[in-house]
A and B are shown apart, each in its own frame.
Chain A
Amino acid sequence: MRPLKRALTWGYFDVIHALLSRWHILLFLYLVATTCHAIEIDRALFTKVSAHPHSDHDPGLALIGSDTLNWEARSLPDYWRAATPQGSQHQGGQGWYRLDFDLNKSSIANSSNWAIYVPKHSRVMAVYVNEKKIGDTGSFKDPLSDNFVMPYLLPVHNSLLNPGTNHLYIRLAGYGFDEVSLSKVFVDTEDNLRTAYRLRYLFSVGVAQIGFYSMLLLGVLVFLFWLSRRDDGQYLWFSLTCLTGAVFCSNRILTDFPLPLTAEHQTIFYSTAVSLFTLFSVMFLHRFSELKLYGRERLYFLLICCHGLIALNLPEQFVRLATNLMHIVDASVAMYILYVIYSHRDRNVVLDRYLVLGLCCLAYLLSFNELLLRLMDHPYSNWLTLQWAPVLMYIAFVSLVLSRLFRTLKGFEQLNLDLQKRVDYKSQQVVELEKQQAVVEERRRIMFDLHDGIGGQLVNAINYLHRHPGRDTVLLETVNTALQDLRFIVDSIDTNGEQEPQLLLGMFRERFEPIVEAQGIRFSWNVDETLASTKLGPSAALNLLRVLQEAVTNAIKHAHASTIFIGTTAQTIEIEDNGVGIDLSKKPGLGIRSMRERASNIGLELEIGKSNRGTLVRLKFRPKKTAH
């Protein structure tokens, strides 16, 4: 049953893995090319010496050298979990590998220092060449140092090597709940191996280092920024995203955890850091996209807490299961992050949209790759990629925040510009208003002067002439006309600006009716609101009043009328009398010519003609032209 099941699982896995890690293949090919001269050791003899990873019972080289041990053949990379699936006690512990390689005399003599290159092992190893220790990768005491992504290049002094067969011993220790593995091992001169080592270091540890330092710095800076403006939650969560990302990346840099925690607790700690990173990413994105989905955040946070509490209390062999389950949840949330970014892509400019989505998708694939590797217990899981995810995510988020910041700044500048424009406009308005105010003040002053000065004098003169017998009628009429004229001037001036023609007609009637009535003539008034409401300024108003005055005076003087009809339509003012009617054959006199001119000055057409009743003077408003 088992081989079939495994084959099936791996079948799926291989397809996914091939899709996900094209660049791994390229990198692998490159590494193969650079290490093709090296002696590649993919076979080893293995013996397990202790079920306990940090057992004091270390037989040492003395025991290794003896033939009492049961060496079994293994091919590298070797993976203890996969190799010993029966019981938990066999999964971790300590063991020794013996790797043999042949060298000839000339190759030892002619070359510079030799070296052993171990691309990947977990968790800690010590390396011996021909029974002399050349180095180790950390502490074998509990908690063991953790080297699950660290490549090592261990130099071997040429004096340790013999022509013929050399024995390379590797002591390896690891925990049952974690992976214990050894990759293929390469032996060559140090110079030949360095390139491959450095490249591998860069892609696994270097990326994590870059991520760690940049996220730490950015996290702190953004946090300080947030402190100064606490109402904007997105910066807090962005800062926490960075900081937890940094914590997670430290997992790939530090072989020894800086706090006295047991190895399981370290695993739970880092796994929680991944979950928190995902949580804070969600919280940041929610705030960035102005989504108030606090319920989802709380639920996820609750799950993280539950996972932490449960995992801390589980027996050690279940810790990995628990953290893997949590990582499945994290992966689902990460999928949700992609969904949020995708569904709110319209909030961002096009470049951001695709950059962010692309980076986050890539980050997701890389994390998913590692999750699959972990879930499948894959023996070739020598390319862990999760360290890329926070780096990519944080680049995406930084680009989002920066882009928004730039846009805000731009908007701010635009706003400033608009404000400046508005201020200019308003200032201009104020100047205009001041001018208008000055005009109004001047008009008031003139009115006052007219009122108390000339007006009063004229009234007195009229009264005087009235009171004294043998009065000079010509003088009286002249003074009366002067006062009348002054009244028109007063009426034409409106301190508020322009006046409607209807109102001017109203004022005209008030002023002129006593004169008309004195001649025994009456007005028939038919003014209505439909008259085009072209408002007239003081000078135009005075012109209109004078045209009306002339028309009515003509009716009084020449027409011998008994009624003067004044009426309006939508576009005209008509002054008609029931008198003898105008003689159109005569050349128009000065009065009519001046009427025409005044009318034309204010944009009115003047028509004079005979009607059924008598004479008709029609003032026509030209549509859609402003009168001056």
Chain B
Amino acid sequence: MDTYDIILVDDDPHIRQHMSAVLNAEPCFHLTACAETLEAGLKLIKQSPPRVLLVDLGLPDGSGLDLISAASQLPQTDSMVISVFGDEQNVIAALKSGATGYLLKDGMAGTIIDDIKSLIAGGSPISAKIARHLLNRFQPLPTQQGDAPTLTQRQTEVLKLVSMGYKRREIADKLFVSVDTIGTHILNIYKKLRVNTNVEAIKKGADLGLL
């Protein structure tokens, strides 16, 4: 059985303790290192790129987003943001930086393990509110140029169902596809979010006369 290296970056010792306990209980995960600060975290992922990076956004010396950006350059690493609420605000910021999902801090052992496993298998977690946000964000505006990425019909369907509270399995049944396909759709939408962010940045830059 493969084991996956995990690095945890969180300044809260209780969270680190809790996460370590949960992760070490699972044989296929190997928590290689923990870090408290952004700087230490950056150093760690450079030295030994993990399979999964778990990161809190509020670090004492900076934002976890920087760490996620750095990790997104590594080919093997998936980043997950650890959040208390999994709320839209923080998660979307993390997704834009290149995270592929989020974990709830108080998640029960099973949920955390399942979420990380599903991430490794290629399916990112998503919440109703994030789905709604993504739907709004990708809605093609009349003024928008053709180069901005938009969602496919199927991706829109998936997001709509997620936003109404349907679980991945239920969506798969409704759309007559496999659960993995739904996971792939969500991952692709996250990728588009990053592309979309870049396009927006370029457009904004052009508007401001920077480009």
Instruction: Give A residues with C-beta under 8 Å from B.
Output: 444, 447, 450-452, 455-456, 458-460, 462-464, 466-467, 483, 486-487, 490-491, 494-496, 499-500, 502-503, 505-510, 514, 525, 527-529, 566
Asked if A510 contacts B87 (CB within 8 A), the reply is no
Q: Mark B176-188, 1 if CB is under 8 A from A, else 0.
A: 0000000000000
Complex: how many Å from CA A514 to CA B86?
15
Cβ-defined partner of B164 (8 Å) among A463, A494, A495, A528: A528
Asked if A463 contacts B18 (CB within 8 A), the reply is yes
Given the known interface contacts A451-B85, A503-B163, the answer about A459 and B132 at a Cβ–Cβ threshold of 8 Å is: no
Given the known interface contacts A459-B105, A525-B170, the answer about A495 and B89 at a Cβ–Cβ threshold of 8 Å is: yes
Complex: how many Å from CA A460 to CA B17?
10
Asked if A483 contacts B106 (CB within 8 A), the reply is yes
Asked if A459 contacts B84 (CB within 8 A), the reply is yes
Say yes or no: is B90 at the interface (Cβ < 8 Å to chain A).
Answer: yes
A-B contact pairs, 25 of them (CB 8 A): A444-B89, A447-B89, A451-B83, A451-B85, A456-B12, A456-B15, A460-B12, A467-B21, A486-B85, A487-B85, A490-B85, A490-B87, A495-B88, A495-B89, A496-B136, A502-B163, A503-B132, A505-B164, A506-B127, A506-B129, A506-B166, A509-B165, A525-B170, A527-B164, A566-B165
Nearest-Cβ distance from residue B130 to partner chain A, whole angstroms? 10
Complex: how many Å from CA A509 to CA B127?
10
Complex: how many Å from CA A514 to CA B167?
12
Complex: how many Å from CA A528 to CA B87?
23
Collect the chain A residues with CB atoms within 8 Å of residue B132's CB. Answer: 499-500, 503, 506
Asked if B108 contacts A514 (CB within 8 A), the reply is yes
Return the chain A residue nearest B128 by Cβ. Answer: A506
Cβ-defined partner of A503 (8 Å) among B85, B129, B167: B129
Say yes or no: is B122 at the interface (Cβ < 8 Å to chain A).
Answer: no
Nearest-Cβ distance from residue B55 to partner chain A, whole angstroms? 15
Q: Nearest 3 A-B pairs (CB), nearest first?
A: A506-B128, A506-B165, A455-B84
Interface residues on B, range: 20 to 34
Say yes or no: is B162 at the interface (Cβ < 8 Å to chain A).
Answer: yes
Say yes or no: is B117 at the interface (Cβ < 8 Å to chain A).
Answer: no
Interface of A is mostly: helix
Asked if A507 contacts B129 (CB within 8 A), the reply is yes
Nearest-Cβ distance from residue A462 to partner chain B, whole angstroms? 5
Cβ-defined partner of B18 (8 Å) among A444, A467, A486, A566: A467
Complex: how many Å from CA A464 to CA B21?
12
Given the known interface contacts A459-B106, A491-B129, the answer about A506 and B14 at a Cβ–Cβ threshold of 8 Å is: no
Nearest-Cβ distance from residue A219 to partner chain B, whole angstroms? 50
Given contacts A455-B105, A528-B164, 10 further A-B contacts (CB under 8 A): A447-B87, A456-B15, A456-B84, A460-B14, A506-B127, A506-B132, A506-B165, A507-B127, A527-B166, A529-B164
Asked if A463 contacts B83 (CB within 8 A), the reply is no
Complex: how many Å from CA A466 to CA B106?
10
Say yes or no: is B160 at the interface (Cβ < 8 Å to chain A).
Answer: yes
Asked if B58 contacts A452 (CB within 8 A), the reply is yes
Collect the chain B residues with CB atoms within 8 Å of residue A487's CB. Answer: 85
Say yes or no: is B111 at the interface (Cβ < 8 Å to chain A).
Answer: yes
Return the chain A residue nearest B19 by Cβ. Answer: A463
Asked if A525 contacts B18 (CB within 8 A), the reply is no
Collect the chain B residues with CB atoms within 8 Å of residue A527's CB. Answer: 164-166
Collect the chain A residues with CB atoms within 8 Å of residue B162's CB. Answer: 506
Nearest-Cβ distance from residue A606 to partner chain B, whole angstroms? 21
Nearest-Cβ distance from residue A187 to partner chain B, whole angstroms? 91
Return the chain B residue nearest A444 by Cβ. Answer: B89
Complex: how many Å from CA A496 to CA B133?
10
Nearest-Cβ distance from residue B118 to partner chain A, whole angstroms? 15
Asked if A451 contacts B12 (CB within 8 A), the reply is no
Which of chain B's residues 74-108 have a Cβ closer than 8 Å to chain A?
A: 83-90, 105-106, 108
Given the known interface contacts A447-B89, A451-B85, the answer about A514 and B111 at a Cβ–Cβ threshold of 8 Å is: yes
Collect the chain B residues with CB atoms within 8 Å of residue A459's CB. Answer: 14-15, 84, 105-106
Asked if A508 contacts B87 (CB within 8 A), the reply is no
Which among A462, A496, A510 has the highest number of chain B CB atoms within 10 Å? A510
Collect the chain A residues with CB atoms within 8 Å of residue B131's CB. Answer: 506
Collect the chain B residues with CB atoms within 8 Å of residue A464's CB. Answer: 14
Complex: how many Å from CA A505 to CA B162?
11
Given the known interface contacts A459-B105, A527-B165, A529-B164, the answer about A509 and B128 at a Cβ–Cβ threshold of 8 Å is: yes
Collect the chain B residues with CB atoms within 8 Å of residue A506's CB. Answer: 127-129, 131-132, 162-166
Given the known interface contacts A459-B15, A460-B12, A507-B129, the answer about A502 and B85 at a Cβ–Cβ threshold of 8 Å is: no
Complex: how many Å from CA A527 to CA B160?
11
Return the chain A residue nearest B166 by Cβ. Answer: A525
Asked if B128 contacts A510 (CB within 8 A), the reply is yes
Complex: how many Å from CA A506 to CA B84?
18
